[in-house]
Amino acid sequence: MFKYFRLVNLFALLFVFLFLTPSFSFGAPAMRGVAVNETTRECGGYWQGDEYKQFSLPLGWVAYYPVEESGSYFITIGNRKIEDSWKDADICEKLGYKYVGENIGKPVQMAGWKDQVYYALAAIVVVLIGLIFFTLKVFKKRKI
């Protein structure tokens, strides 16, 4: 019986994992940064997103984020260290790159409510199957 008790625990753990695991998102807004394409010498703002919307970088672009040092924020791109003015166009100008926009990220399709309902139903089915196996095993051992 102990072996089947462990099986039920496994199903319960699987249920908790599937039901409580959120889709990939941030709990708070991600930090704004600057994206650079060294090949085309273009530069633009980049925001990775928040819990509602996410953006990915186009191919060939690399994001850089400000780091605090001695009370000021700096962005290090290659061997260049630029003080962050929080204006993407200024940073691009200091780099000598063409400014292409405030957020060059492309929207990422996130899991909608239908996907979350599907995962919840799948978890419930897994738990019910585990409980059915457990119940059958318990009643099979009983002598009626």
Q: What is the pLDDT along the chain (144 residues), one digit of tens a residue?
A: 555 556 666 666 666 665 555 555 556 777 888 899 989 999 988 888 877 778 888 889 998 888 888 888 888 888 888 777 777 788 888 888 899 988 888 888 766 666 667 777 888 888 888 888 877 777 776 665
For 59, the token pair is 């191919």
> Taking the model in full, what pTM does it have?
0.56
49: alpha, beta or left? (left if phi > 0; alpha if psi -120 to 50):
left
Q: How far apart are CA 121 and CA 104, in angstroms?
A: 37
The confidence score (pLDDT) of residue 78 equals: 80
- Cα 120 to chain centroid distance, Å, stands at 19
